[in-house]
Every structure is written in structure tokens, then in C-alpha cells.
Amino acid sequence: MTLNDLEAIVKDNKITRFNSKVLLVNNYENIFELKNIYSSCGYTIKDLREFQTNENQWFGVSKLNRIINKIEENTILFSISEIVRFYNQDDFKNFFDNLFSIENKNIHIIIPMFGLKSRFNNKYFNTYYRKNEYDFVYEIDSSNDKIDLNIVDFEVPFSNTLDSIKDWLNFYSSPTNNIICSPRPLVARINNQHNDDLIHINNISNQKEFIEKYMHKNFPLNFKKNEIEYWNRLIVDLKEHDLEQILKSKLNLHLLTPSEILKKICAEQDLYFKWLLKGYAVLENNNNNYFYEVIKSSNISDTLIEKIWFDIFDEYNPTYISQRYDILIDFYSKSKPSKNIEVKLRQLLENYEQLIPILTGITQVEKEYIVNFYALNKVNDEYIKKYYNDLNSYIDNVDFVNSIEWVENYFIEYKNSKINNKLSIKLKDILHEKNRDKDSFFNWYADTTFKEVSDFSINKEKTFWIDGLGIEWLGVIKNYAISKGFRCEFYLSKSKLPTTTHCNKFEDIKKTDALDRDYIHKQHSYQYPKNLIEEIDIIKNILDNHIQDDLTIVSDHGFSAFCSFQTKINSFDNDEHEGRCAKVDDILDDTNYFSYDFPKCGRYLVSLNHTSLNNKTRREAHGGATPEEVIVPIIKIYKSNQKRTIIESIKQNPPVKKGFEEEDLF
């Protein structure tokens, strides 16, 4: 019927035996008209809020029946449908049975039911035994526009929220679509709810569902109760921004690559942002790649970088291996793995079959494997360029301004022998030729091609002394300098004998002991390839700390890795520097050593080869006369955009050289 039809019936005021009538209305739009119709005819307008003793009081079916049974005047009572729609079926039937049993009170009790027409008819009235005896129901013509009601049992930072039963009972008077309702009595009865003709109820059981069902946004992590704090914070943040905007604004994150995400997760102290980044990674990297799979299986408490390292061992996948490599290389571009990673990785690699493809060359243990594999010809030059380019730099040769062919050939063999951990035949042959006795040694040592520091006009403020720097490290220096935008000029020079720091000091020149005193002298024994790898890193660290502008690098001596390879054949008790030299009174001459009156340090016995003067050398050492101990570089480093000529570096009138017997060689 129309409202006009209803108004005519109300004005007629016909009294019948049964006093209750139900108005079935599809929406709340006619509230004002309904109140006008009934108030103009003398009806009292009420709603259930008047009967509440506290704002969250609920009305069970018995209490509701008592309230209605006590009505003694013509009354239209609102808010009933807002309670009844949450009744279970037994209470639903009980309520209407009582309502329709009220009789002979000579009054009218009108109960509007908003949106309950289908449930009322299907679940109750169609089988009501007195259905056709009296007019218990008036159906009012109205449109059928549904309202979304979102039921939650937690606080949310939104203003369109009904926080109490009292708020909900007043909802009919100012209905709003997509409202949030959180009174606990409603939440407790949510299983009894039915989506009716007016109200569509979204039962939102947790914060993740709230984001998806109410905010219509997506966050891909599964809901966990122990992460409620993070979900609540996310709801607040997502009110104004999407997830990417949150990360960019709060973390200044502009490039969300897997490595960038990983760096933020590992560095961020606030676990909320770690959690956010994890979610964003899952959301964006959904194409079945390694990073996505690791993220997906991780917990907020996991150390994610360790999972990137180690999850690959659980499933060998060539595609994942490549992706893992790219992530880790980028991640460690300016840092090093922790000791824990080194220890665990060493354990896992020890018995892993697919070893070569899984190496990244980032850690010490991986570098050790790569050096060994290269020595065994299991990996080629292209492999080490990608996975351990510092080893490629070590192997690399340099051009000397004052080139000496045999010296260059010697150090090519020396470096190869050090990588292979054994002296090559060619290296032994060159050493025997050049150092078979005292005379053969002085023959090459007196070569005037070698430059002295005094041959150069150097600025001591821009000169740096690396104690122990030998020729073998020049490839590392060259490539590192180039990577930093510098150029190098390399000169062959030589140390005074014995090749100790005491006999080769530079005055007023800044010095570093990182390679010699702080490392070589602290070795307990020579360890292959550990020492080689660590020495490369030391060289790079020295350069990183000191190359900012033009620089001249000088050295007092080199050192040899092969002295520890020889067995004991000599017994000079007063030996120094692991048996590489010894203070003596006598003039001694042998194929393994010779003594000489060195102007600065006096009469010393020095070893001509890798055989030391007393006990077997335990570690890398210096003090003797092998080329790797004696021949040192002078390096001119300058910015690559500067133009220099060799002649500018050398004095116009270098001193005239004499024969080695007359010259102050030392």
C-alpha cells in the first residue's frame, strides 16, 4: 500500500481484537512521513533508546516482549527491527508470536520493520496459523536500496562509526551507507544475522578484512594475531595514502627494487616498517621469483638477509640462483656479510654438490673456493671477472714506464704460482738464473733502469708509504684507481738490503702498517688462499682511505709467500725476520745466501732464494734478496682528466750511475 492508503487506515482508527500491527518497509526514506502520519493521529512516537539503562544495553526477546506488553496507549515503536534482525530463528519466532498474541487492550501498537519483509514472510508469517484472520501486517510501497553495514569488534579511526547499541538504535533516523558498527552485543550475535531486504551485513572479523572489505585496498600478508599492532597502524596510514606512497613518504624510498626493499628491511629498526616492506614486496613481486618466494616464507622476526643467502640450498633453481646473485651483489655494494653468515655458509658449502653456480664471490669462504677452482681450471677468466673480479685484478699486469722484461715475466709467474699454491718451473728457473749467487744478484740489482725516489720531484705532503707493498699488487691498485676515476704511472724501484723496514725508512712521509706489521707479522702460518684474499682486501682498504687526490705511493720492501714452502737446510741462530736475514761478523758466500757490508745496517747475511737461514719460515716474510722482496714500485696516481708527461715526473739531471761496487746501492 501507499502512504496515503496507510494514512487513511490510521485515521479510521478501527479497533480490532488483536492490537499489534507490523509495518513492512523496505527502506528508511519514509521515516519522517510515518512519524507525521501517526503523530497527527495522536500516537505516541517511541524508540527503544528510551528503555535503555546504559548505552550498550541489549534487548533479548523476553525483555523486548515485556516492553511491548506494557504499552497502554496508541504507540508506534521504532528501532525494533534493528534488534530483531539479529535474533536467531527461535527468538525471531518467539517475538512475533508474542506480538501477535496481544489482544483486547483497545489500543494500537505499531512496529515498523525496516528491510525484514522477506525474512518475516518466509521464516514466519507464511506459516502463521492466523495469517488470514486479521490484518496483522501492512506492506508499504517503497524502493529497495540496500545499505552496507560493516560489523567489527575492534576500534577503527573512522568517524562514520556506531560505537554503541544506542547509536545503532538511532541509525534508522539518519541512515548512512557503508557505516561501521562495533557494539559488542552485535558482534556477539553476528552468527544470527541474515542479509535482508535493506541491510547487507559485512562481518569483518579482523583488520585485514577491514582493509579489503571496507577500505577496498589490498595488503597481501596473512593476518596473524601477534601482528595486530601493525594492522592497526596500517589502517590509519591507508586512510590517506596507498602503500607505495606510505613507503615513499615515511622511508624516502623511491626505487623499490628487491635489493632496495631488502636494505630497508634489514636496516629499519621499527618492525612495523619491516612488516610493511615485506607486504609491499609480496604485492609487487608476484611473478614467482626468488625474492618473492623468500619473502613469502619469512616471518617478521626472521633475519631476511640470511634467508636470501640460505633458502637457495633447499631448492636448486638456476633462475633463482641468478636472481639471488643480483640481489646480494647490489645489497653488499657498500658493506660486508656478518660473521654468522660466513660461518653458516662455510658449513653449507662444504658438502654441497652444485657448488660453482651458487657462489657469489661476496664472502671470504666463497672467494677461497673460487681461487681453488681457478687454480684447478674448473672456472675460466670470464667467471672470475664476474664472481671475483679482484682476483682478475691481481692477475692483471701493468705497464711500467721503465720496463724490465725479466722482472715482468717473473711476477707473472710469481702471481700464477701464488694462486696455484706451488712454485712453477719457470719461476724457479728465473730465480735460479738471477739469484744463483752473489754476483748474479748484483748483476741485475745494479741495473740503472730501476728508479729511486730521489729521481723524482715529489711533494712529501702528497706522498704515501705503504709498508710491504710489492710488485704483485699493482694490478689491484691499477684497477681500483681506474674505478675511482684516477690514472696511474708505474715505475720499477728497489729496496736496500736487507729488505727490512729499518733499512728502508722514508723520512717525513706518511706511512701505513696495515699490510706489513699489522698483518704479515701477525700471521701464525701461511694459509692458502685465505691470506691472498685478505691481502687484496687490505690493499683496497688502504687505497679507499687515502686516494682522494693526486698521490705518490712508495714502498720499503715486498714480501714472499714461498719461504714457508722450503724445508730447513741452514742453521744461523741469530736470524731475523723468519730467517730471511741475519746479523753476522764473517763474510759468507753460498748459492743460498751471501753476506755484505750494507752501509746503513752493517754486515748482514741475506737469503738469495726461498730457503731461509734457520728454521723453516712459518709465514710470509721479507728481509731476503728474492725479487718479490727487493723490487718495489713507485706509483704516481692522478686524476684521469689531467694530462701529464713522464718527463715532468723525473728530474732534468738525474745523478750519474756507477758500478755496483762503487755506488751507494743501499
Angle at 396 between CA 533 and CA 407, to 5 degrees: 105
| Mean pLDDT, residues 86-91 taken together | 92
Give the C-alpha separation, 501 to 499, whole Å: 7
User: Residue with C-alpha cell 752493517?
Assistant: 602
In the predicted structure, residue 182 carries a pLDDT above the cut 90: no
Say what the alpha-carbon torsion angle 273, 277, 283, 287 is, to the nearest 10 degrees. Answer: -170
Burial 550-583, CB ≥16 within 10 A → b, else e: ebbbbbbbbbbbbbbbbeeebebeebbbbbbbbe
**DSSP 8-state code for residue 366:** H
Q: What local confidence, expressed as pLDDT, does residue 339 receive?
A: 93
Cα distances (angstroms) measured from residue 147 to each of 28, 99, 196, 201, 491: 10, 27, 10, 8, 87
Structure confidence at residue 642 (pLDDT): 57
pLDDT at 498: 96
pLDDT (0 to 100) of residue 191: 65
pLDDT of residue 29: 86
Q: Where are the alpha helices (DSSP H) in 438-565?
A: 438-445, 474-483, 530-546
pLDDT, tens digit, 9 for 90 and up, residues 324-342 = 999 999 999 888 999 999 9
pLDDT of residue 658: 37
- Measure the CA–CA gap between 627 and 633, rounded to whole angstroms: 12
Q: Cell 510501497 maps to which residue?
A: 141
User: What are 133-166's pLDDT values in tens digits?
Assistant: 878 899 998 887 888 888 898 889 988 888 889 9
pTM (2 decimals)? Answer: 0.72
pLDDT exceeds 80 at position 441: yes
Share of the chain above pLDDT 70, in %: 94
Q: What angle do CA 433, 439, 443 make, to 5 degrees?
A: 75
One-letter amino acid of 640: S
Burial of residue 88, with CB atoms counted within 10 A of its CB: 0-12 exposed, 13-18 middle, 19 or more buried: middle
Judge contact between 354 and 340, C-beta under 8 A: no
**Confidence bin at 250 (pLDDT 50/70/90):** low
- C-alpha separations of 376 from 372, 379, 391, 393, 479 in Å: 6, 8, 15, 19, 25
- Angstrom distances, CA of residue 491 to CA of 181, 216, 348, 403, 474: 83, 70, 45, 8, 11
The pLDDT value recorded for residue 663 is: 34
Q: Is the pLDDT of residue 589 over 90?
A: no
Q: Is the pLDDT of residue 648 over 70?
A: no
- Res. 646 pLDDT band, cuts 50 70 90: very low
The mean pLDDT value for 10-21 works out to 88
Query: What does the angle CA 519 – CA 524 – CA 526 come to, to the nearest 5 degrees?
Result: 80
Model confidence at 254, pLDDT cuts 50, 70, 90, reads low
Each residue of 592-627: pLDDT tens digit? 999 999 888 899 999 999 998 987 788 999 999 999
Q: What would the 3-class secondary structure string for 132-176 be?
A: CCCCCEEECCCCCCCEEEEECCCCCCCCCEECCHHHHHCHHHCCC
Helix (H), strand (E) at residue 83: helix 80-84
Domains defined for the chain, CATH in brackets: 3-144 (3.40.50), 395-562+625-649 (no CATH)
What 3-state class would DSSP assign to 601? coil
Distance, in Å, from the CA atom of 489 to the CA atom of 473, rounded to the nearest integer, reads 14
User: Is residue 655 predicted with pLDDT exceeding 60?
Assistant: no
221-248 average pLDDT score: 88
pLDDT at 572: 85
Q: What is the mean pLDDT of residues 301-324?
A: 89
Q: What is the pLDDT of residues 476-533, one digit of tens each?
A: 999 999 999 999 999 999 999 999 999 999 999 999 999 999 999 999 899 999 999 9
Are 156 and 186 within 8 A, CB to CB? no
456: pLDDT strictly greater than 70: yes
Between CA 314 and CA 311 the distance in angstroms is 6
Query: What is the mean predicted confidence (pLDDT) over 204-218?
Result: 92
Residue 285 is predicted with a pLDDT of 62
Q: Which helix (H) or strand (E) holds 294?
A: helix 290-297
> In the predicted model, what is the mean pLDDT of the chain?
89
Torsion angle defined by CA atoms of residues 275, 280, 285 and 286, in that order, rounded to the nearest 10 degrees = 90
SS3 category, 31: helix
Q: What is the dihedral of CA 352, 353, 358, 362, to 10 degrees?
A: 50
Measured distance CA(543)–CA(438) in Å, rounded: 36
Share of the chain above pLDDT 90, in %: 62
| pLDDT reported for residue 130 | 87
pLDDT for position 357: 93
pLDDT tens for each residue of 93-125: 999 999 999 998 999 999 999 999 999 999 999
What pLDDT score does 252 carry? 64
pLDDT of residue 104: 86
pLDDT at 144: 76
How confident is the model over 395-412, as a mean pLDDT? Answer: 97
Exposed, middle or buried by CB within 10 Å (0-12, 13-18, 19+), for 111?
A: buried
Give the mean model confidence (pLDDT) for residues 276-296: 77
pLDDT at 542 over 80: yes
